[in-house]
Amino acid sequence: MVANCTYSISFYAAAIRGYYLYCSAFTPEYKTPNPVYNKVQVVLRKDNDCVLEKVIFTTPSSVTSYNWSIFTGNFTLTNQDI
């Protein structure tokens, strides 16, 4: 990546329909998506560093629809980010 260049990002996301809670392999739990927490963030990390990170995109709205929705945005990195 190059500093001071603008990059575009685009991806599809949908709310999860069911998932297993409490290690139960028998019945999936179906809960309504929580609009407070159901946002997607795109994060850049260097190598395997899980401490230093740069959030380059957060969905402007929560992902609460079970249908696939497209999200697009732009980001620019500084010399320090690189």
| Residue range 23-38, pLDDT digits in tens | 555 666 666 767 777 8
Query: Is residue 16 over pLDDT 70?
Result: yes
- Where are any strands of DSSP class E within 1-82? 6-13, 41-45, 53-58, 69-76
Domain-located, residue 44? yes
Whether the model clears a pTM of 0.75, i.e. scores above it, the answer is no
Domain-located, residue 35? yes
Average pLDDT over residues 50-79: 89
Distance CA 60, CA 48 (A): 28
Domain-located, residue 63? yes
Domain-located, residue 1? no
Domain-located, residue 81? no
Domain-located, residue 16? yes
Domain that holds residue 61: 6-76
The domain tally of the chain equals: 1
In the three-class reduction of DSSP (H, G, I as helix; E, B as strand; rest coil), residue 3 is classed as coil
**What is the number of other CB atoms lying within 10 angstroms of the CB of residue 73?**
15
Query: Is residue 77 over pLDDT 80?
Result: yes
Distance CA 61, CA 64 (A): 9
